[in-house]
Amino acid sequence: MKVAIYSRGNGGEGLKDELEELVSRLISNNIQVLLHFSLKEFIKPQHTVVQFFSGHKELNNSVDFLISIGGDGTILDTVTLVRNKNIPILGINYGRLGFLASISKNEIGVAVDALVNRRYVIDKRSLIHLDADIELFGDAPFGINEFSIHKRDISPMIKINTYLNGEFLNTYWCDGLILATPTGSTGYNMSCGGPIVFPEAGSLVITPVAPHNLNVRPIVVPDSYIISFEVESRSDEFICAIDARREIVQTGVQLAVKKENFSINLVRLNENNFLSTLHTKLTWGLDKRN
């Protein structure tokens, strides 16, 4: 078995200790370790069997799992590393909320045992893909959470004409618009009043950010639709974002979003399902009045 490990490397000494524990446990189970170059300084010199990688081109079908150490933002990075290679991602939560990186940093031993003994569940998560009449986001115009359009900081609200399969849906006068996947429904979408959608649902959520018209509400549409946008603004530019990446775009650029033709595999331990995540992360069912 071969396991790759990625982290943003900003966890300090705590990350160093946990990374050392993880690598030691993997090696003791005769698992090959492929470590991202950004973590080289965190590994003791005696781990000479550890190999290193720097980008997605160095990951291939020989890698059985990719372990992400960090928060949900680190998981978003790993999506651009894994791409369409079907490498399952296991997230160890070193961040705060951890909807995607759901395994506690205190459960490293449990996580390694689960991989070794095949006691885990693979969840398939759909992605979205952006097409535009100019190149945007390089060779990774896809995301697992959301695509969003925003006004520039100094700009007044923008006007976003939105179409479903070429048919006019609505014109949004707003600060921005979010198009979220079911996975992303618990992120930026939820904080802007959008609905939570189960990961298995074949749908997308369109949620306006600070709409000018109060009768405008989030809407759920099938993920088989192509959603296209035309942006008008008093400014010459607006912001496009996919997950944690963003680009400055000129008004007049044509944008269209559809479901990506590949999905991402997330590893979870058997007891961690979506409902338990909602209960834990959002404290649903917990009476905090006392």
Please identify every residue annotated as catalytic. Answer: 72
Q: How far apart are the two ends of the chain, measured CA to CA in Å?
A: 49
Which of 236, 161, 174 shows the shortest CA–CA distance to 208?
A: 174
What is the C-alpha separation between 93 and 146, in angstroms, rounded? 21
What is the C-alpha separation between 172 and 160, in angstroms, rounded? 5
Q: Within the chain, what is the greatest distance between any pair of CA atoms?
A: 63
Which amino acid is residue 213, in one-letter code? N
Instruction: Please enumerate in sequence order all residues whose Cβ is within 8 A of that of 15, keeping only pairs 6 or more positions apart, or say none.
Output: 7, 9, 42, 69, 94
CB atoms within 10 A of CB 277: 19
Q: Tell me the H-state helices in the chain.
A: 12-28, 72-82, 108-116, 188-191, 274-282
What is the C-alpha separation between 68 and 77, in angstroms, rounded? 9
Is residue 144 within 8 Å of 79, Cβ to Cβ?
yes
Distances in Å between the Cα of 101 and the Cα atoms of 16, 62, 95, 104, 166 are 18, 23, 8, 8, 37
Is residue 8 within 8 Å of 70, Cβ to Cβ?
yes
